[in-house]
Amino acid sequence: MQPSPLVYIFVITYDGKKFLEECFSTLIEKTAYPNYKLVLVDNGSSDGSGEYVAENFPEVEILRVFPNAGYAHAANTAVQYAKEHQAEYVVLSNDDIAILDERWLSEGITLAERDDTVGIVGYAESSPTEALEVPATFEDETVEYFSGFTMLMPAKLFEAIGLFDEIYFVVGDEDDLGARAQRAGFRIARLNLPIFHHGGGTNTRFSLRTAYLGMRNGLRFCLKNRNPGHALLRACRMIDIACNPWPLTFDQEDAGHCRIRNSGNVAVNAWIYCKAVGWNLWVLPQTIRTRYREQQLIRAALVARNQEGS
């Protein structure tokens, strides 16, 4: 009988101590999988998050990242740590989650082991505003975008397409990884198995800073992963959503739209938008170099996949 693949589950936190009791209690009690390690990635917290977990959950390893250089840097540190410990799969999770069904990990691994084209496994999001029930049978669907509150990935994905792009800092880095994965021939599969997600977590959803990061990183995502026309369309939609007193394309159910709309002060949003555009013009040479380098990795991954299939 083949041993179960080793999985490293990383919970990334920044001053998220208030979430960690529920997060780790449910992870420990409701993970029916025989071969996994739990790790807290303490991303420069100042609220004693690492000390709290060390005292209350001694079975959890603590990986400290200091200073806080953003979610993407913490995620990359976690992935490197997992690879050093010969993990076959990596789970990256927000701190504000709670496990609802003990089969969450085993079902994700089963899916990924059954289909080697799966690069990212995401989960259904149960939230305070939409409580989802655990279905009788588990199915998956291929999606283009996903909510990255908890995602399971084979270690080979990062060998094929590289790590998270750390310049994003936070917001957009998961979409960027997903876009590169899809271009390399992997698919993003979302299981209908729900995980509870408070939302917001240690990243305030609506603020000047997150509005800026949403605009800035949204533009960079298009410049890196889409064609110029798509980037121009994204820029125009941002103007409408953020700066139009009566926006035509604003969707109140879209968290990304709400983030860049912020409080609805169009004058402030116009200033933020100009700042986001200026930043992208400043880093455009770096964006082009990064796009080229990642495209080389993706081409190599596609060649390798074709050779395996022939």
What does the chain look like in DSSP terms, one character per residue?
-PPPPPEEEEEEESS-HHHHHHHHHHHHHT---SSEEEEEEEES-SSSHHHHHHHH-TTSEEEEE-S---HHHHHHHHHHHHHHTT-SEEEEEESSEEE--TTHHHHHHHHHHH-TTEEEEEEEEEBTTBPPPPPSS--EEEESS--TTEEEEEHHHHHHH-S--GGG-SSSHHHHHHHHHHHTT-EEEEEEEEEEE-SSTTS-SSSHHHHHHHHHHHHHHHHHHS-HHHHHHHHHHHHHHHH-SS-SS--TT-HHHHHHHTT--HHHHHHHHHHHHHHHHHTHHHHHHHHHHHHHHHHHHHHHHHHHH-
Q: For the chain, give every domain's residue range.
A: 7-197, 208-285
Fold of 7-197: Spore Coat Polysaccharide Biosynthesis Protein SpsA; Chain A (3.90.550)
How far apart CA 40 and CA 93 sit, in angstroms, is: 10
| pLDDT tens track, the chain, 310 positions | 568 999 999 999 999 999 999 999 999 999 999 999 999 999 999 999 999 999 999 999 999 999 888 999 999 999 999 999 999 999 999 999 999 999 999 999 999 999 999 999 999 999 998 899 999 999 999 999 888 899 999 999 999 999 999 999 988 999 999 999 999 999 999 999 999 999 854 444 558 898 999 999 999 999 999 998 999 999 999 999 999 999 999 998 888 898 899 888 999 999 999 999 999 999 999 999 999 999 999 999 899 878 776 6
Distances (CA, A) of 114 to 111, 257, 285, 297, 304: 5, 36, 41, 25, 19
